Amino acid sequence: MIEFTFWDILRNLLFATRWTVLLSVAAFVGGAVVGVAILFARISVARWARRFGAGYIALFQGTPLLMQLFLMFFGLPMLGLRIEPWTAAVCGLTFYASAYLAEIWRAGVEALPRGQSEAAASLGLHRLQELRLVILPQAFRITRAPVVGFLVQLIKSTALASILGFEELLKTANAINNATFEPFKVYGLVAVIFFLLCYPLTQYARMLEGKTAFR
């Protein structure tokens, strides 16, 4: 058993936390970009595009995230495509996030009064201009609270990347625990770190929810 002081454990966990944060940011940004594309498909006038968007969302919402990560990391090499744990984690979490974000934003679009589209059409705006200038800015604004709430879920979901061997917070905690045999101390600190990452975002989401409800 290796001797680790409390501060040694905390320092190593904080060092690993930066990778958890970086993975969360990368997956959220990537998920937002892909999610917007899926949103356009979901609200398209083309029937095939709507079906594709609905199928994409159903696939990634209806299957476990862990299985998606396994397929990304262990399945792609069988097709001849080597992939690193970081890349697999980012890609898997990006696709997962994009499905949920697209559905959140679609609900925001459908929550807008139909008169918004009619007003845009009366101004001579074509479909893309209507979405870019009128519909999407309002949909994004009214869905800020659930988007921030989903970010909290995404941060906690990064812990699954440890299964792939990616050295994020939980993977580092497992290594320290195997060396120290102090699970209560190690995983207690991990819980505190996740709480400190997520709690401010949870409160921010509640504040945004209150503002949206007030309006």
Range of lowest pLDDT (51-65, 105-119, 193-207) = 105-119
How long is the chain? 215
Locate 161 and state its tokens. 């990347």
Q: Are 125 and 133 in contact (CB under 8 A)?
A: yes
- Going from N- to C-terminal start, the domains of the chain cover 6-214
The H-or-E segment that residue 138 falls in is helix 136-142
Query: Between 106 and 215, where is the model more confident?
Result: 106
Output the pLDDT for position 214: 45
pLDDT in tens, 12-41: 999 999 999 999 999 999 999 999 999 999
Q: Indicate the CATH number of 6-214 among 3.40.50.2300, 3.40.50.300, 1.10.3720.10, 1.20.950.20.
A: 1.10.3720.10
Place of tokens 């074509």: 126
pLDDT in tens, 125-161: 767 777 777 788 888 999 999 999 999 999 999 999 9
DSSP 112: S
